[in-house]
A and B are shown apart, each in its own frame.
Chain A
Amino acid sequence: MKNVLVESVSKSDRSTLALISVRHACGSSPGQFYMIRIGDFPVVPRPYSVFLEEPEKGLTTFLVKKRGLQTSRLTKLKPGDTLELRGPLGRPFPVLNHPVLVAGGCGFAPLHYYATIHEYSSFFLGTETEEELAFLRLFQNMDTCYGDELVTDLFLRANTDGPVISCGPSRMLRTLSRADRPTPVYVSLESRMACGTGMCLGCPVKTRNGEIKFVCKDGPLFDAREVDWDWLT
């Protein structure tokens, strides 16, 4: 793993979300992720999608939600601290013809990166709280919701056309997979993993034809019709 310096940390009002920029840039593409850890604890690194890479500044930014051992430590980082990372890993998202982007919570990260580089038709975002939404509402004309209102309902009501790229909790992605659309719905899956490269076999996805693929090396993006959701969730 490579040690990198934290350049800046910005947080949502109640500090549940943080954007952490590190002094590192090596040509990642939207959809790719890094394995990240801080020092020796927790021992096992976690995967984080790239939120933004700014080659001219030499920075890569990650979106972190505070909800466990490692994320608690990540959200406490300050400029000048170091963290360890490996990557970029995983396959980049394909560039589609004006896709609809649908994000839930931290699933916003790879779609944000995609939207900063490529054209898209509309962007749906749902968060757990109003303050998280305020922190992540970074593009104009986003369709947003928070709390009990589900981003899947928002998306389905909108009757959009075109392919979909989505990222968020697996329940949300499964709902989207049932959308009756002539164009594909792509889902960027999240999973626990140890290596991020396909060695540990820790992040399986079973396809409808019975093949075992892996989020880290075959994904993270899959055609929702390809996924055996009963096995996955």
Chain B
Amino acid sequence: MEFSNPAVVSSGPAGFGSEMAEMIDMSRIGAFTFKSVTREERKGNPPPRIVDCGYGMIASIGLQNPGIEAFLSRVLPQSREWNTRIIVSIAGFCLEDYSYMSSILNTVADFDILELNLSCPNVETGKTDPVTDPEYAAAVVATVKECFRTRPVTVKLSPDSSPMELFIKRCEDSGADGFTLFNAFHGARFDMDTGRPFLKKVDGAYTSPALKPLILRKIHLARQITSKPIIASGGASTAEDILEYMSSGADLVSFGLISAIDPEMLMEIPACLEQLLKARGYESLDDYRSFVAGTAENNH
């Protein structure tokens, strides 16, 4: 699958895209990932949903979304005019949720990739948890692949899913066509005056440019396990980051926090990337990919 550029807006911080589409030219991003959709509507968590951490923030949104039916009738059609690759992300609380949503999506046009959010840290998943149970994660992938056959399925794993090698192998064995690595780390902050957590649910998704080296390392390891496409996710905020993530083994790079706080910055990425490549003597991103592939052996 071709992308106009490797910068992807990740699922979550940019919501459902309508506000972003009013601010920027969506055709200049490589792909837009919708915030995860569930079978039923979710109102999300009560405030505060965000706590500042200086070097980043913790968000506890609680998967607020309109539910799959309203998403398909009211939200997804808006993206027809964006002229970019569209990734739909789904999150379920049981296998039946996944089979229900992926069966419907199988016949829906208007998107290119189905992403499985196997890692949202804000919702109690009961006994079966795709973050801690690789067999359940694999079962989700197998269920979706059975129902959804028209386009690629990528799996978004939690950085807390360990051992990562087992999760990747089991998901790949079950038919995953690619991976988004990773969803956010869990984080928490406490008020030293009250001794209580700032967030009512205590923890949430920690996003920060400071995560970049942690994600780079894990992608480097993941690339030794799978040859499937990898969308790097976590810590990217510049065009330079794209080349660094590609060096670690990623094919595409998603931008989360920065998409929310400075969406106009996304517009500068294609030109910056071109400059960076030119300055290093590459005619195109494919040339750089070839260079990275050639040096990969030495990195391992």
| Residue A117, interface by CB 8 Å | no
Distance in angstroms from A181 CB to nearest chain B CB is: 26
**A187 CA / B125 CA spacing, docked (Å):** 37
B146: which A residues are within 8 A, CB to CB? none
Taking CB atoms, residues of chain A closer than 8 Å to B264 are 1
- A44 proximal to B (CB < 8 A): yes
Q: Which residue of B lies closest to A37 (CB)?
A: B261
Bitwise, B155-179 to A at CB < 8 A (1) or not (0) is 0000000000000000000000000
Compute how far the CA of A201 lies from the CA of B14 in the bound complex, rounded to whole angstroms: 9
Assembled-state Cα–Cα distance A33/B27 (Å)? 29
Q: Which of A43, A45, A86, A203 has the most CB of B within 10 A?
A: A43
Cα distance A46–B261 when bound, in Å? Answer: 10
On whether A44 and B57 interact (CB within 8 A), knowing A192-B48, A194-B13, A195-B261, the answer reads yes
Q: Which residues of A contact B77 (CB under 8 A)?
A: none
Number of B positions contacting A (CB below 8 A) = 34
Which of B15-23, B98-106, B112-120 forms part of the interface with chain A?
B15-23
Q: Is B38 an interface residue (CB 8 A)?
A: no
Q: Given that A199-B20, A201-B64, A202-B50 are contacting pairs, would A42 and B55 also be in contact in the complex, using a CB cutoff of 8 Å?
A: yes
Distance between Cα atoms of A203 and B20 in the complex (Å) = 17
Q: Which of B13, B47, B55 touches A43 (beta carbons < 8 Å)?
A: B55
Within 8 A of A (CB), among B1-52: 13-15, 19-20, 23, 35, 43-44, 46-52
Question: Smallest CB–CB gap between A18 and chain B, Å?
Answer: 19
A203 near B261 with CB under 8 A, answer: no
Grouping DSSP codes into helix (H, G, I), strand (E, B) and loop, the A interface class, with mixed when no group exceeds half, is: loop
Interface residues on A, range: 20 to 34
State whether the Cβ of B208 lies closer than 8 Å to any Cβ in chain A: yes
Judge whether B257 is part of the interface by a CB distance below 8 angstroms. yes
A31 to chain B, nearest CB (A): 19
Q: How far is the CA of A206 from the CA of B47 in the complex (A)?
A: 10
A198 at the interface (CB under 8 A from B): yes
**Interface on B for A, CB 8 Å cutoff?**
13-15, 19-20, 23, 35, 43-44, 46-57, 59, 61, 64, 208-209, 257, 259-265
Chosen A-B contacts, 27 in total, with CB atoms closer than 8 Å, are A1-B261, A1-B265, A37-B261, A42-B52, A43-B54, A43-B56, A43-B57, A43-B209, A44-B50, A44-B261, A69-B54, A191-B48, A192-B52, A194-B13, A195-B260, A197-B19, A199-B13, A199-B14, A199-B260, A201-B44, A201-B61, A202-B50, A203-B50, A204-B47, A204-B64, A217-B19, A232-B46
Q: Given A43-B209, A192-B49, A203-B49, list of 6 further CB < 8 A pairs?
A: A35-B261, A86-B262, A191-B47, A198-B15, A199-B20, A201-B44
